[in-house]
Chains A and B, each alone.
Chain A
Amino acid sequence: MATMTMAKALNAALADAMLDDERVLVFGEDVGQLGGVFRITDGLQARFGDKRCFDTPLAEAGIVGFAVGLAMSGLRPVVEMQFDAFAYPAFEQIASHVAKLRNRTRGALSVPMVIRVPYAGGIGGVEHHCDSSEAYYAHTPGLKVVTPATVDDAYSLLREAIDDPDPVVFMEPKKLYFAAAETALPARTEPFGRAVVRRSGRDATLIAYGPAVPVALEAAEAAREEGWDLEVVDVRTIVPFDDATIAASVRRTGRCVVVQEAQGFAGVGAEIAARVQERCFHALHAPVLRVAGLDIPYPAPMLEHTHLPSVDRVLDAVARLQWDDQPDRRWLTEDSAA
Chain B
Amino acid sequence: MTTTPQAARRASPRTRRPATPAAPDPAAGLLPQTDPVRLLNPDGTLLPARADYPEPPVETLREMYRRMVVGRRFDAQATALTKQGRLAVYPSSRGQEACQVGGVLALRDDDWVFPTYRESMALTARGIDPVEVLTLLRGDWHCGYDPAQRRTAPQCTPLATQCVHAAGLAYGESYQGRDTVALVYIGDGATSEGDFHEGVNFAAVFKAPVVYFVQNNRYAISVPLSRQTAAPSLAHKGVGYGVPSEQVDGNDPMAVLAVLNRAVAYARAGKGPFLVEAHTYRMEPHTNADDQTRYRDAEEVEAWRDRDPLVRLETYLRGRDVLDDAAVAEIAEQAETYAAQLRERMNTQPTVDPLSLFDHVYAEPTAQLVEQREQVRAELAAAAEGDA
Question: Do A and B make up one complex?
Answer: yes
Residues of A within 8 A of B (CB): 51, 56-57, 59, 61-62, 64-75, 77, 89, 92-93, 96-97, 100-110, 141-142, 144, 165-166, 193, 239-244
B164, A105: Cβ atoms under 8 Å?
Answer: no
List the A side residues contacting B368 at CB < 8 Å: 240-241, 243
B360, A106: Cβ atoms under 8 Å?
Answer: yes
| Contacting residues of chain B (137-156) with chain A, CB-CB under 8 angstroms | 141-143, 146-149, 153-154
Contact of B154 among A65, A104, A166 (CB under 8 A): A104
Q: B198-209 vs A: 1/0 string, CB under 8 Å?
A: 110110011000
B161, A92: Cβ atoms under 8 Å?
Answer: yes
B367, A240: Cβ atoms under 8 Å?
Answer: yes
Contact of B172 among A72, A96, A101, A141 (CB under 8 A): A72
B202, A56: Cβ atoms under 8 Å?
Answer: yes
Interface flag for B49 (CB, 8 Å): no
Interface flag for B361 (CB, 8 Å): yes
Contact of A141 among B163, B167, B361 (CB under 8 A): B361
Contact of A106 among B168, B195, B206, B359 (CB under 8 A): B359
Contact of B367 among A59, A64, A109, A193 (CB under 8 A): A193
Tell me the smallest distance from the CB of A272 to a CB of chain B, in Å. Answer: 13
| Contacting residues of chain B (3-28) with chain A, CB-CB under 8 angstroms | none
B146, A59: Cβ atoms under 8 Å?
Answer: no
Chain B interface secondary structure, helix, strand, loop or mixed?
helix
B148, A109: Cβ atoms under 8 Å?
Answer: yes
* Other 12 A-B pairs with CB < 8 A, given A56-B205, A66-B206, A73-B169: A59-B198, A66-B168, A68-B168, A70-B172, A102-B362, A103-B361, A104-B154, A105-B147, A105-B154, A142-B361, A142-B362, A144-B362
Residues of B within 8 A of A (CB): 141-143, 146-149, 153-154, 158, 161, 163-173, 175-176, 182, 194-195, 198-199, 201-202, 205-206, 359-363, 366-368
CA distance A66 to B205 in the complex (A): 12
CA distance A113 to B104 in the complex (A): 30
Tell me the smallest distance from the CB of B168 to a CB of chain A, in Å. Answer: 2
List the B side residues contacting A67 at CB < 8 Å: 168
CA distance A104 to B161 in the complex (A): 15
List the A side residues contacting B168 at CB < 8 Å: 65-73, 77
CA distance A141 to B154 in the complex (A): 19
B165, A72: Cβ atoms under 8 Å?
Answer: yes
Chain A residue at minimum C-beta to C-beta distance from B205: A57
* A/B interface sample: 12 pairs, CB < 8 A: A56-B202, A65-B198, A69-B165, A70-B168, A75-B175, A92-B195, A100-B142, A103-B361, A104-B143, A108-B143, A166-B362, A243-B367
CA distance A59 to B153 in the complex (A): 23
List the A side residues contacting B359 at CB < 8 Å: 106-107
Contact of A97 among B161, B172, B205 (CB under 8 A): B161
List the B side residues contacting A144 at CB < 8 Å: 362
Chain A residue at minimum C-beta to C-beta distance from B158: A96
